[in-house]
Amino acid sequence: MTVEIPDTVLEQAGVSKAELLLKLALTLFSEDRLTLGQASKLAGIHQVEFQRALYANGIAIHYDESDFERDLESLGLEK
């Protein structure tokens, strides 16, 4: 799916595309809608960098074995 947001809207909001994607990923992760791997992929950053962003925004990491298995599956890797 492609979502187009006019540059003027980003400018008015004072955010870049990267910042918007990170904010979206942080929100969806904090609501348990995305796993750590999915959220970091949405944000376009490495998982370690995403974990730093979680910490900086006061969001706890909730990552269990089922999250790990889903991440492996989404990456096309097997356990």
For the chain, the average pLDDT equals 92
Instruction: Provide the domain limits for residue 33.
Output: 7-74
Residue 79 lies in a domain: no
| pLDDT score for 68 | 83
Residue 66 lies in a domain: yes
Give the H/E segment covering residue 38: helix 36-43
C-alpha–C-alpha distance, residues 77 and 59, integer Å = 27
Tens digits of residue pLDDT in 19-57: 999 999 999 999 999 999 999 999 999 999 999 999 999
Residue 1 lies in a domain: no
Gyration radius (Cα) of the chain, Å: 14
pTM over 0.95: no
Say how many domains are in the chain: 1
Q: Quote helix, strand, coil % in the chain, to nearest 5.
A: 60, 0, 40
Residue 24 lies in a domain: yes
* Angle between helix 17-30 and 47-56 (nearest 10): 80
